[in-house]
Amino acid sequence: MVYAALCLLTLLLVFIPPGLTVTRLACVFSAACLLNFTAFYFFVHISERELRSIRKLINLIRKNKISSPEEIVLPENLYDLQEEIRAMYLRTQNDIDYLKKLERVRTEFLGNVSHELRTPIFAIQGFIETLLDGAINDSKVNMKFLGKAAHHTENLNNLLNDLIDISMIESGEMHLSFRYFRLIDLIKEIIPELLPEAEKKNLKLIVNPFDEKLQILADRNKLRQVFNNLILNAIKYTEEGSVSVIIEADESAARIMIKDTGIGISEKDIPRIFERFYRVDRDRSRAAGGTGLGLAIVKHIIEAHSSKVEVRSTILGGSEFAFRLKH
Ligand code: ADP
């Protein structure tokens, strides 16, 4: 109808004699008004329709009734807005998933910590109570029970130290201080400290000869912790044979390897041993004073040196833990 009125007015404009300027002006004015009205009509009409669909969509999102971005649909002319809302929805969904995962990991971690703390505390409590109940006067068992209580106290201490380390690392409070130092100096400090542990099990602790001038860029204290954890693990999980430290250097990096002739790790367990509290054999690890956190700490430290730990192992075929450091 509006279109017909516009056509009529245009025809009038064309056929009105040139003298009738007022009539011409009136027609032009009317055509302009009609055009404005039409534009306004369509604008209001379309806006309302669009607004209604946006409002409907917001309600759906608010009521959590959208389960995938494909369900976010707006009229065709609002394609850009639809895509923007889809992207926002995906981002929010990812944030929510991440927070849920964090919460799950936190709860799981707290559960593990309580469980790990409970074990040595209950054991110490049990031995002390038995001693107080009279065993203290029994010369056949009193020293044995005291020794066991002392062993669990040591486990508790190891666990607390590892927990402090892991929480410092994971909260971003581990500050590394990189400098160059001679690897041989660090090895000469570490080996005499660990040798008694190897000797207790009749194992050989061997350092293969390497370039004594080799300097590496690392945090000396953190690297000492890595060596301690890996060599102690190699000793813990080896019943006979040897534990070797093998160091090779090329132009840019030193490759450090701790190799043992121990029980080995199955293919399915290898990807999991760096998880906090994951142990292949829980009882064996506990009996050897393990906390289940050692390799998680090693992984963090080596990654903070922009490197990664590689593992090669087979059941009963021994294990190799290796990483590279710049020199
Ligand atoms: P744990 O305190 O139990 O030794 P770690 O985080 O150091 O904890 O190691 C995780 C698990 O990986 C150990 O419980 C053990 O099952 C396995 N593991 C680590 N090092 C070795 C190794 N050299 N040989 C065999 N198994 C190992």
User: How remote is the CA of residue 84 from the centroid of ligand 1, in Å?
Assistant: 48
* Tens of pLDDT, residues 4-47: 554 454 555 555 555 555 555 554 555 454 445 555 555 555 57
The answer to whether the CB of 82 is under 6 A from ligand 1 is no
Q: What is the pLDDT of residue 41?
A: 54
d(CA 302, CA 222): 9
How far from the centroid of its chain's Cα atoms is residue 296's Cα? Answer: 11
d(CA 306, CA 254): 13
Give the architecture (CATH level 2) of 104-170: Orthogonal Bundle (1.10)
Helical H segments across 133-173, by residue range = 142-170
The residue ranges of the chain whose pLDDT is under 70 are: 1-46
The answer to whether the CB of 237 is under 6 A from ligand 1 is yes
The answer to whether the CB of 285 is under 6 A from ligand 1 is yes
Q: What is the pLDDT of residue 171?
A: 87
User: How remote is the CA of residue 171 from the centroid of ligand 1, in Å?
Assistant: 24
User: How remote is the CA of residue 233 from the centroid of ligand 1, in Å?
Assistant: 6
Q: Which of 279, 293, 312, 321 to mutate to test the pocket of ligand 1 (most atoms within 8 A of CB)?
A: 279
In the CATH hierarchy, which fold is given to the domain comprising 179-326? Heat Shock Protein 90 (3.30.565)
Q: Which of 295, 315, 316 to mutate to test the pocket of ligand 1 (most atoms within 8 A of CB)?
A: 295
Q: What is the pLDDT of residue 47?
A: 79
User: How remote is the CA of residue 268 from the centroid of ligand 1, in Å?
Assistant: 14
The answer to whether the CB of 294 is under 6 A from ligand 1 is yes
The answer to whether the CB of 261 is under 6 A from ligand 1 is no
Q: Where along the chain do its domains lie?
A: 1-60, 104-170, 179-326
3-state secondary structure of 180: strand
Percent helix, strand and coil across the chain, each rounded to 5?
Answer: 60, 10, 25
Q: What is the pLDDT of residue 165?
A: 92
The answer to whether the CB of 198 is under 6 A from ligand 1 is no
The answer to whether the CB of 292 is under 6 A from ligand 1 is yes
Q: What is the pLDDT of residue 34?
A: 47
The answer to whether the CB of 324 is under 6 A from ligand 1 is no
Q: What is the pLDDT of residue 270?
A: 96
d(CA 244, CA 257): 8
Q: What is the pLDDT of residue 46?
A: 59
Ligand 1 atom 12, closest CA: 273
Q: Which of 231, 277, 285 to mutate to test the pocket of ligand 1 (most atoms within 8 A of CB)?
A: 285
Q: What is the pLDDT of residue 209?
A: 96
Report which residue type is found at 213.
Answer: K
Ligand 1 atom 3, closest CA: 292
User: Given the CA of residue 321, which atom of ligand 1 is nearest to it?
Assistant: 23
CA-based nearest residue to 246, from 312, 162, 177: 312
Q: What is the pTM of this model?
A: 0.75
